[in-house]
Structure 1
Amino acid sequence: MKRAASVCCITPDKEVLLVQRASPPSQGLWAFPGGKVEPHETPEAAARRELEEETGLRIGRLNLWRISRPLDGTDTPAYEIHVFLAPLARAPVSALSDAADARWVALEQALTLPLAGDMEPSLADLLRAN
């Protein structure tokens, strides 16, 4: 199974950083910034790289939050996704690389967006925890 990594950036005001994918397979859908882990990278290094490439943000502390795998029978490519949690203050972001848009979104509002992959359960877990 291929590996991917993403970063869930969350502010004290319960806003999360989401990007709208510009390319398939999740084109037009919203997700945490992230992407493929290159052969020479750790998932954490890939998460940092993807966050900067897609939003311009550089991040300090990252904590592994969850590892998700696509459900059987979905059209989602077979990736094991290492999701890192990054609590931080809201910072300006830009949609770069393969992101059509990048923005801070209130947790409740995030659940109303068209979401990629297993984003809905991840956001619901965040909402319950916060």
Structure 2
Amino acid sequence: MKPAMPEAASSAILIRDGKILLIRRRNSPSFDMFAFPGGRAEPGETPAGTAIREFEEETGIRAHSPREFAFYDLQSENPGRHFHLTVFIVEADPSEIAEARDDAADAGWYTPAEIRLLNTPASVLDCVERLEREITFS
């Protein structure tokens, strides 16, 4: 089997009151796992544009000011799938409420300690550990 060409994907991290917004994925890849809102790029879309669009589609929150935070070369659990994932930190109006939409089964706010107890992709745990080194959580 010929290796799959990498597909571009992006996700976004929003931190509010010392907690990080995660969604529980309704579809593959990472079905039923907790992850940052995100997904595959559409044709011609920039990584930052993908992150902002997917974030709103999955949470209902209009994020802005994306800052690139991490990049992962991921081989999916699906045979023949390969993703280049760019992770951004975003900002949003604190009055906006997260709702699970589109590919998200649930949406919730979690502390780094709580995230370690959830079923998450390795990239999420890696980002959380890095965030803890770089940001003070209250």
TM-score using structure 1 length: 0.88
Instruction: Quote the residue 1:75 is aligned against.
Output: 77
Of the structure 1 ranges 83-92 and 39-48, higher mean CA displacement relative to structure 2 is found in: 83-92
Structure 2 distance, partners of 1:51, 1:16, is 13
State which structure, 1 or 2, has the greater radius of gyration over its C-alpha atoms. 2
Equivalent of residue 68 in structure 2, options 59, 64, 81: 64
Of the structure 1 ranges 54-63 and 88-97, higher mean CA displacement relative to structure 2 is found in: 88-97
Runs of 4+ deviating beyond 2 Å: 74-77, 87-91
Cα offset for 1:70? 2.0
1:5 paired with 2:7, answer no
Q: Is the 8 A contact 2:63 2:91 kept in 1?
A: no
1:84 paired with 2:88, answer yes
Instruction: Quote the residue 2:112 is aligned against.
Output: 107
Aligned residues: 127
Aligned to 1:70, the other structure's residue is in SS state strand
Q: Is the 8 A contact 2:21 2:108 kept in 1?
A: yes
Structure 2 distance, partners of 1:106, 1:87, is 17
Q: Is the 8 A contact 1:108 1:127 kept in 2?
A: no
The C-alpha deviation readout for 1:70-125, integer Å capped at 9, x for no partner, is 26xx6363111111112454741100001000111112111111002421111111
Of the structure 1 ranges 40-49 and 74-83, higher mean CA displacement relative to structure 2 is found in: 74-83
| Change in CA separation of 1:113 and 1:14 when aligned onto 2, cut-off 3 Å | same
CA RMSD after TM alignment: 1.8
Instruction: Quote the residue 1:42 is aligned against.
Output: 46
Segments of structure 2 that go 5 or more residues without pairing to the other structure are: 1-5
Structure 2 distance, partners of 1:107, 1:90, is 22
What is the aligned-residue identity percentage? 31
